[in-house]
Amino acid sequence: MTLDFRPYIDDVLADIEAHAEWHEEVSQGKMFGILVTTDGHVLKAYSGQICGRSDWEGYVPPIYDYLQPQGYFKRHEVEIVALHDAGKPTRERSAALQRWLFSKFVLCSPNGERRSVRDVFSDWATANHSKQTQPPGGTGECCAPKLLHYANSHNMIPLALTEFWYGKSPKGEIRHHGMTYEPCQAKCQPILPFLLGNRLQEVIGSRPAPPPVTHLKVLYEDPWLIAVDKPAGLLSVPGKRDNHCAEKILHDQLNYQLSTITCQLSTVNSQLSTVNCQLSINPRMVHRLDMDTSGILLAAKPPEVYKAMQRQFALHENVQKEYVAVLSGRANDNLNDKSLSPVTCQLSTGKIALPLSPDFYNRPMQVVDYKKGKEATTEYEFLSPNVVKLRPLTGRTHQLRVHCAHPDGLGMPILGDPLYGSEAADRMYLHATKLSFIHPVTNETITIESPAPFI
């Protein structure tokens, strides 16, 4: 359900500020959650603990409180720490303690059924063929599970739920103070269906579906390749839960044209018609654009051309891409030219090099990881105070979005970015405006352009 959570968030923010003893810890970054029920109750939660406590007044209690000083968990935790300090192996003991803990986190479903986090997670993993069969550490301690378990245990019917970030962004990640976020993928997604049943999308909410697309504008076409203008909100290729994508639309579009030509020929030569009816075109995208990004998308028709273009895009040597983005905020002080003031740095050019890795707990989000991340480099050129041209020199997932939003990059999220942004809009303002490559058959340099619709 769509609900304006801002008044509720403001109330929680005021309560946080009233707890002076929280400030040092919470200012470093903490997720808070709010659940509104059908009978008007407003429940609040925080992830994990604050100042070593899970029982702050006014917030829902933990699903299981394992922090009692003389309790089973704390006693065994002390033993494991002592063994570790003595240089003795602790892996098996730690794993056993974690399994015991998850057996104590017992969730309540909307119909009153009670099952442990461990069992719920395991069943979800089996049903979804997931390699992650055991819950990650901290599963059940996030805001959403706490709130839903409490509501179900007290015969309250959830109406709408949200989580928002307070304080600094975690190292490597991108979180904005006061902005709302969906529950995490790795810890919460497997157990939320049990806690909400078939009301998951209704209560947690989802972005409204974009208008249906049945035809794509062709920007370039020859016997081997075709480039189209992908609108924002459309997948490039089929997803896990949605087959409606640019590749499928293009397939139908090309084969409809082919069938039309065939039907026209049938009136002239029935034998030729029979031959042509056996033909079909199966275009495949040689690269991808994020669902929320619009612009140039290239597909290959024959399989051998698809393979050749995939190799070319993977090497990134003969492929040049340009994007235009509208940004939120103003350029920060991390831009390459340190002599420029914040007023003039919007007209600067430079290069961003921030290595990226997948965020295990929040796929498909990416994090900046200086130790294990893959090289990711972007050239930028400000065209106006909030409009920037971006040239990716590598092709990492969400590269431009992270490089714009991260404080070590531009420190200016792309306007409307639903994952890394700080300002909502009617779309994400990122458009692929130019693509150059070497044609795998003719060896010509091909350049395709698509002006950004929002400039």
Runs of H (alpha helix) within 128-166? 143-153
Instruction: Report percent pLDDT > 70 for the chain.
Output: 88
8 Å CB contact between 367 and 381? no
Runs of H (alpha helix) within 239-292? 246-266, 270-276
Instruction: Report how far residue 256's alpha carbon sits from residue 263's, in angstroms, rounded to the nearest whole number.
Output: 10
337 is catalytic: no
What's the confidence (pLDDT) of residue 97? 83
8 Å CB contact between 191 and 107? yes
Confidence of residue 278 (pLDDT cuts 50, 70, 90): very low
Confidence of residue 274 (pLDDT cuts 50, 70, 90): very low
Query: Average pLDDT, stretch 342-347?
Result: 43
Asked whether the predicted pLDDT for residue 341 surpasses 50, the reply is no
**Which tokens in the block code for residue 306?**
């698809």
What's the confidence (pLDDT) of residue 270? 55
The residue with greater pLDDT, 433 or 132, is 433
pLDDT in tens, 293-337: 999 999 999 999 999 999 999 888 899 999 999 999 755 444 444
Confidence of residue 1 (pLDDT cuts 50, 70, 90): low
The residue with greater pLDDT, 80 or 5, is 5
Query: Average pLDDT, stretch 372-395?
Result: 95
* Range in 86-100, 312-326, 413-427 the model is least confident about: 86-100
* Range in 15-19, 40-44, 315-319, 434-438 the model is least confident about: 315-319
What's the confidence (pLDDT) of residue 362? 85
What's the confidence (pLDDT) of residue 315? 85
* Range in 80-94, 300-314, 428-442 the model is least confident about: 80-94
Identify the burial level of 240 via C-beta atoms within 10 angstroms of its C-beta, where 0-12 means exposed, 13-18 middle and 19 or more buried: exposed
The residue with greater pLDDT, 255 or 209, is 255
Q: Give the helix/strand (H/E) hosting 221.
A: strand 217-221
Asked whether the predicted pLDDT for residue 338 surpasses 60, the reply is no
What's the confidence (pLDDT) of residue 263? 58
Residues in the chain: 455
8 Å CB contact between 385 and 341? no
Mean pLDDT for the chain?
A: 88
What's the confidence (pLDDT) of residue 330? 57
Query: Average pLDDT, stretch 272-284?
Result: 64
Annotated catalytic residue, options 229, 290, 292, 359: 290
Instruction: Report how far residue 249's alpha carbon sits from residue 214's, in angstroms, rounded to the nearest whole number.
Output: 6
Q: How far is CA 338 from CA 333, 343, 344, 348, in A?
A: 7, 12, 11, 10
* Range in 163-172, 238-247, 347-356 the model is least confident about: 238-247
Query: Average pLDDT, stretch 362-371?
Result: 92
